[in-house]
Amino acid sequence: MATLAKSVAQWPIPLAVIIKSELRSERDMKRSLILTLCMATSCLFFAVESAGQDVSASNRALLDQYCVICHNQAVVNSIATVNEGLQTTQLRNLGLTLDTEDVANLAANPGVWEKVIKKLRVGVMPPPNYPRPDKLSYDGFRAWLENELDRVATLQPNPGRTQAFHRLNQTEYKNSVRDLLDLDIDVLSLIPADSPDQYGFDNNADVLALSPLSVERYVTAAHRVAELAVGAAPRGASIKTYDVPLNLIQDDRLSEELPFGSRGGTAIEHFFPVDGEYRITVKLQTNYVDFVRGYDEAHEMELSLDGEHLNTFAFGGDAPGMPAPYSYAGNIRGSDDWEAFMMAFADQGFEMVLPIQAGPRIIGATFPREMWEAEGVQQPRLFGYHLAVTELPDANPSVSSIEIEGPLTIAGPGDTPSRRKIFNCQPNSADEEPACARQILTSLARRGYRRAVDESDINGLLEFYNQGQLEGGFETGIQFALERLLVSPDFLFRIEQDPVSAAPGSMYEISGTELASRLSYFLWSSLPDEELLELADRGALREADVLEAQVKRMMVDPKSAGFIENFVGQWLYLRNLDGIYPDPSGFPEFDENLREAFQKETELFIDDQIRSDHSLRELLSADYTYVNERLAEHYDIPGIYGNRYRKVTLEGAERGGLFGHGSLMMVTSYPNRTSPVLRGKFVLENLLGGPPPEPPPNVPALETSSDGKELTMREAMAMHRENPACRVCHAAMDPIGFSLENYDAIGKWRTEFAGQAIDASGLLPDGNTFDGPDGLRDLLLERPDDFVGTVTEKLMRFALGRSLEYYDMPEVRAIVRGAAENDYKWSSVILGVIESAPFQMRRTEL
């Protein structure tokens, strides 16, 4: 009663006076309060209803004045099937007939209004040259829509429904094998890669089908993995070649696995299946007709195993006869003895046969660094045809490949990390084997199936164990059972089952073990560890303090690198870097060292942001990055030497935040030029959450010249936008892309193009203006909810492994509001996703 009386005091004065005058006794107070509450409720109901009617009428008028001219039933129904333009096609695909929608009752069709919010978010509607409401009305209408849809969502909660069977994608399979068996192998050749969905993520259960051909590949992969894990003797020697890219510049120490004072070469990790003898062959880089580069002078090459020196090979300066003229080897013959010697050396390479213990080993091949500077006029770096043809006899030699053949002889299975992980017991007699096998398989099944296991689970594996034991003994039995486990649906799929008693279309909390799997595949792209499973079994994982502590623990675990590789790699297109080859004639300075540095910079930057729990706004505003000497040279940052990456503070407006990263600029360009469209589309899709419609078919190629004159990108795009149908989408994309034109197709800063100063200014349809990457950065930072909301959408889509629907958007906005109270820190956003209803709950089938 005291609480009610206190709240009454805060009501409008006339109403409060009436109520207080009636509070004579507790009985009178209760009687009067009930009466007055009824009166107040009626008054408030009519007041709210009246206010709601006013808002609805105002919003209806706004829609009729600015939107319905295009988004109406008559226009959509009258779209011609022949001769229709792009604008009408987009209207039809969008399906917005706002004249028939009831703006006073958003609950009737919330999906339509969420589409409207997305268009309002980036200000693309109304389109250019159409009347627009003033900014106050525009923003007010959007805010009202969001608030009203959030209110509707509280009355009609819907956590969505994930697929009951969610297959592990290629990366998740690799990481799950690694953590289950302590066996890190390359599965690219074993199972097929997975295609991403329309939002760029390859862990969407809807697209992770399992064809008969894929089943065969998974069976083959399980056999191969089980053989390697238990140390089964290979059927014969195999050859694995590790090639070094021709365009990798080998003028410095290239790996932490190579010794200090080394130059060039490579270090590779190879899994040796058993103890035995292996042949290692190192070949040097040659020109296109196999003449070794750098052979005119004497050199040395060092070979190492796990950092231990194996051998030093001396070569060079001893070729007999008369060499071919400089840079003409293969076109003009040298003397016969010189030709024969050089060709034989190239074929032979450097070879060693030696005993190697089973398990993962690092093979290194490198050269002692020779401290000298080239004399004379420095020649430009070779590229393209010239790089392939010229033999460079007086240059430094480079490693071309490392080839490993074996085992040539077998000494035993060895003591590998995977054998130690699997064989947690060793039977001393045949009588002890069944109990030991059960112990091993119970442990593997619990981790592999990611849940508690019962007798039927173990008995199914024991059947395969018994068969293998008859054929080859105890370890062969374990191998057979492991193969069975790795092709089990319980391992290949994340399975979520509806409760038997749940009504169709009802909501329920997923089980503790299902929550543990969602957590681990979100943050690690791998299976849950024992700590997570134990908490899930006890029912403690869902407790707020426990869950938060686990999230923090998981984000600092080394396995969180899977989050950077998979979520960040797909969100920021880092996975695409390896498939982009800039035109050598336009960008002769590009090399594989730069490609590697681009990727490493962004991965280290995001990793630091997350581990240090910075605000997401720092993704755009950070004044630091990570560089080595090669990247610093590209960015014109002085004073950085060596191949080690270090954190540097940036000065000026050229770098800083994601827009200054060469990786982002390269993956949003074409091989021969920049693309304002690709860059603008990237920002709209991945940073602002307002993707443009798909382009129509048969879009003509961009004209980059006119009357023999090379056009600036702005001039070329202006010609492209002369088509009114193209203008609608490009009105938002192009200005954003133009603001990044100071970065060329490989992210190098420039101030001129085609002999003209670059104009990096932009004007959006909503009237916002900006200039250059700094201006775009400031524009996005002025709208932190939109930017953080877009990242949150991406995170939730990745975490759930499904597309987001209209009913998920109120949850996204709630996460952003909560994160805003903590400066939009990564921990707040990630924990918000994990604590959300879509992550912790599920809807049954209708």
The pairing of beta strand 769-771 with beta strand 761-763:
antiparallel
- Greater confidence (714 vs 333) lies with 333
pLDDT value at residue 246: 92
CA distance 285 to 381: 16
Average pLDDT (742-766) is: 90
Structure confidence at residue 631 as a pLDDT band (50, 70, 90)? very high
Q: Which of 73-77, 271-275, 396-400, 424-428 has the lowest mean pLDDT?
A: 73-77
User: Binning pLDDT at 50, 70 and 90, where does residue 653 land?
Assistant: confident
CA 604 → CA 17, 555, 564, 599, 628, distances in Å?
Answer: 64, 14, 9, 9, 12
| Residue 704, pLDDT score | 62
Residue type, 119: K
- Given pLDDT bands bounded at 50, 70 and 90, which one contains residue 598? very high
Place of tokens 């009202």: 144
55: pLDDT strictly greater than 90: no
- Adjacent-strand bridge partners of 281: 351, 403
Q: Which of 255, 269, 256 is nearest to 178 (CA)?
A: 269
Mean pLDDT, the chain, integer: 87
Which pLDDT score is estimated for 3? 39
Whether residue 47 is predicted with pLDDT greater than 50 in this model: the reply is no
pLDDT digits (tens, 9 = 90+) for 369-391: 976 666 777 777 787 778 888 88
Whether the per-residue pLDDT at 42 is higher than 90: the answer is no
Indicate whether 395 pLDDT > 90. no
CA distances from 836 to 230, 443, 516 (A): 42, 32, 15
Q: At residue 146, does pLDDT exceed 60?
A: yes
Contacts 24+ apart (CB under 8 A), 212-221: 217/190, 217/191, 217/192, 218/191, 218/486, 218/487, 218/492, 219/487, 220/190, 221/173, 221/187, 221/190, 221/191, 221/486
d(CA 742, CA 287): 36
User: In terms of residues, how long is the chain?
Assistant: 846
Higher pLDDT, 140 or 56: 140
**378 to 298, 373, 426, 755: CA distances (angstroms):** 22, 10, 65, 27
- For the record, the structure tokens of 230 come out as 């238990």
Q: How confident is the model at residue 433 (pLDDT cuts 50, 70, 90)?
A: very high
pLDDT band at 343 (very low <50, low <70, confident <90, very high): confident
Q: What average pLDDT does range 142-170 have in this prediction?
A: 94
pLDDT of residue 559: 96
748 confidence band (pLDDT: 50, 70, 90) = very high
Q: Are 477 and 452 in contact (CB under 8 A)?
A: no
Whether pLDDT at 438 is above 90: yes
Both tokens of 117, joined, read 């919010």
- Average pLDDT over every residue of 597-607: 97
- Give how far Cα 514 sits from Cα of 519, 520, 533, 696, Å: 9, 10, 10, 42
pLDDT of residue 30: 40
pLDDT of amino acid 698: 61
Q: Which residues contact 604 (CB under 8 A, 6 or more apart)?
A: 626, 645
Least confident of 116-130, 331-345, 432-446, 504-518: 116-130
Q: Can you spell out the DSSP letters for 285-345?
A: -B-TT-PBTTTTS-EEEEEEETTEEEEEEEE-S---SPPPPTT-TTTS---HHHHHHHHHH
For 802, the enclosing helix (H) or strand (E) is: none
Residue that has been written with the tokens 């790996």 in this structure: 255
The pLDDT of residue 10 is 36
823: left (phi over 0), alpha (psi -120 to 50) or beta: left
Cβ(436)–Cβ(274) below 8 Å: no
Rounded average pLDDT over 814-833: 97
Is the pLDDT at 23 greater than 50? The verdict is: no
pLDDT of residue 6: 37
Is the pLDDT higher at 666 or at 188? Answer: 666
Q: How confident is the model at residue 533 (pLDDT cuts 50, 70, 90)?
A: very high
Task: Inform me whether the pLDDT recorded for 755 exceeds 50.
Answer: yes
pLDDT at residue 24 greater than cutoff 50? no
Look at residue 313 and tell me whether its pLDDT is greater than 90.
yes
Please say if the pLDDT value at position 45 is more than 50: no
Which helix (H) or strand (E) segment is 534 a member of?
A: helix 530-538
Q: Would you say residue 277 has pLDDT above 60?
A: yes
| Alpha carbon distance 37, 50 (integer Å) | 19
Q: What is the pLDDT of residues 444-474, one digit of tens each?
A: 999 999 999 999 999 999 999 999 999 999 9
Do strands 624-627 and 646-649 pair parallel, antiparallel, or not at all (unpaired)? antiparallel
Among residues 519, 341, 388, 535, which one has the least CA distance to residue 452?
Answer: 535
pLDDT at 703: 64
Write down the pTM of the prediction: 0.88
Placement of tokens 């989050």 in the chain: 563
Rounded CA separation 207/229 (Å):
30
Q: What is the pLDDT of residue 41?
A: 38
Contact 673, 580 (CB under 8 A): no
Model confidence at 36, pLDDT cuts 50, 70, 90, reads very low
- 453-484 residues labelled b (16+ CB within 10 A) or e (exposed): beeebbebbbebbeebbeeeebbbbbbbbbbb
The answer to whether the CB of 410 falls within 8 A of the CB of 274 is: yes
For residue 394, what pLDDT is reported? 81
The pLDDT, as a whole number, for residue 749 is 96
Window from 191-205, 532-546, 563-577, 790-804 with minimum mean pLDDT: 191-205
| pLDDT for residue 93 is more than 60 | no
What's the rounded Cα separation, in Å, for the pair 226 and 441?
13
Tell me what the mean pLDDT of segment 502-511 comes to.
Answer: 94
Short-list 48, 101, 93, CA closest to 729: 93
Secondary structure class of 845 (helix, strand, coil): coil
Given this model, what pLDDT does residue 726 score?
Answer: 61
pLDDT at 263: 95
What number is the average pLDDT over the span 310-325? Answer: 93
Q: How many CB atoms lie within 10 A of CB 124?
A: 22
pLDDT of residue 787: 96
What mean pLDDT do residues 640-667 have? 93
